[in-house]
């Protein structure tokens, strides 16, 4: 298999921008694709801002920032991904959307190109079956925020071949990340453990055991968590939390994974957390205020 030099990233959202950021910093040429030029420009501005923050914090030299930025391009034309050696899909956590992307992408890619998904919960085997290269497809799941978090979960589908896995493992090592290997079960390792904890925190709020502030303070000071579970849910996005809980509930058929009705209600209200301005906290003022 040819060496990985050119990386394509599908999605200029929080995850896609983070993946592009770490790949460019590691010396790869990166091309980001999204549906509109506006999204691309907003994504590139986010990456530039994150690089600038690293410079101001003394974690990155100015010349390294300029060099990394020069290695990132973006467009709303999927055909620009044709020369890529590895394409990482970081689109919305909806299987139908991912399948539609693969149907458009696969005919464009060169036959030897690897395809990976950054899904946090969906079946790698099932997604791979929607492509023309299941043996060259796998899960490369980065944690959010990508530039900060050291872990990457590698997940093989039933058809993923050993060369693909080895190449992915070597690629992740060049990004200064630590690999953990997970089997292809719903939500893998991190979210299999993390999301039920968040869901239980929401049940604790729903049942009136404690307020938003009480629950987050209890877990920060009582369990030494850097961020309370409700604050973390807002950071992840309540729609993403709900989606992962639904995957766990559907995939494992166990009532302990039932999404809390309050989580469902917040998502139905469009209160998705930080990105929408309101979730378990209201972010529209100078400081976040609990909404319950």
Looking at 118, 123, 153, 199, which residue is catalytic? 153
pLDDT of 149-208, one tens digit each?
Answer: 999 999 999 999 999 999 999 999 999 999 999 999 999 999 999 999 999 999 999 999
Domain CATH number, residue 27: 3.40.50.720
Domain stop point among 128, 159, 182: 182
pLDDT classification of 3: cutoffs 50, 70, 90? confident
Active site residue 276: no
Task: Enter the tokens of residue 118.
Answer: 């950054």
pLDDT of 203-247, one tens digit each?
Answer: 999 999 999 999 999 999 999 999 999 999 999 999 999 999 999
Element (H, E) at 151: strand 151-156
Looking at 50, 121, 123, 191, which residue is catalytic? 191
Looking at 120, 121, 123, 199, which residue is catalytic? 120
Looking at 89, 118, 123, 141, which residue is catalytic? 141
Q: Per-residue pLDDT for 10 more than 80?
A: yes
Are residue 150 and residue 204 in the same domain, yes or no? no
DSSP string, 123-155: -HHHHHTTSS-GGGEEEEEE-SSTTT--EEEEE
User: 1 in a domain, yes or no?
Assistant: no
Give the per-residue pLDDT at 2.
Answer: 57
Active site residue 153: yes
Provide the mean pLDDT of the chain: 96
pTM: 0.93
CA separation for the pair 207, 225 (Å, rounded): 22
Number of domains in the chain: 2
Are residue 130 and residue 273 in the same domain, yes or no? no
CA torsion sign for 87, 92, 98, 103 is negative
Domain that holds residue 69: 6-182
């Amino acid at each position: 298999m040819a060496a990985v030099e050119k990386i394509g990233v599908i999605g200029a959202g929080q995850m896609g921008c983070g993946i592009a950021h770490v790949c460019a910093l590691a010396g790869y040429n990166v091309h980001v694709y999204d549906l509109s030029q506006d999204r691309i420009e907003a994504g590139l501005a986010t990456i530039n801002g994150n690089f600038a923050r690293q410079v101001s914090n003394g974690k990155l030299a100015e010349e390294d920032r300029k060099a990394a930025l020069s290695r990132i391009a973006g467009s709303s034309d999927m055909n620009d991904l044709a020369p890529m050696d590895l394409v990482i899909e970081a689109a919305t956590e909806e299987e139908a959307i991912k399948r539609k992307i693969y149907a458009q992408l696969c005919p464009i890619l060169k036959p030897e190109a690897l395809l990976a998904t950054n899904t946090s919960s969906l079946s790698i085997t099932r997604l791979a079956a929607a492509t023309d290269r299941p043996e060259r497809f796998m899960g490369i799941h980065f944690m959010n925020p990508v530039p900060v978090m050291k872990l990457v979960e590698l997940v093989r589908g039933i058809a993923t071949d050993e060369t693909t896995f080895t190449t992915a493992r070597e690629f992740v090592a060049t990004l200064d990340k630590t690999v953990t290997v997970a089997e292809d079960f719903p939500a893998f390792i991190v979210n299999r453990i993390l999301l039920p904890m968040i869901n239980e925190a929401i049940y604790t709020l729903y049942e009136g055991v404690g307020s938003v502030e009480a629950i987050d303070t209890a877990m920060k000071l009582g369990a030494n968590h850097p961020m309370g579970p409700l604050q973390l849910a807002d950071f992840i996005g309540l729609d993403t939390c709900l989606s992962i809980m639904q995957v766990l509930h559907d995939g494992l058929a166990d009532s302990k994974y039932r999404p809390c009705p309050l989580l469902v209600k917040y998502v139905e209200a469009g209160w998705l957390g930080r990105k929408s301005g309101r979730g378990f906290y209201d972010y529209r003022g100078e400081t976040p205020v609990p909404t319950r």
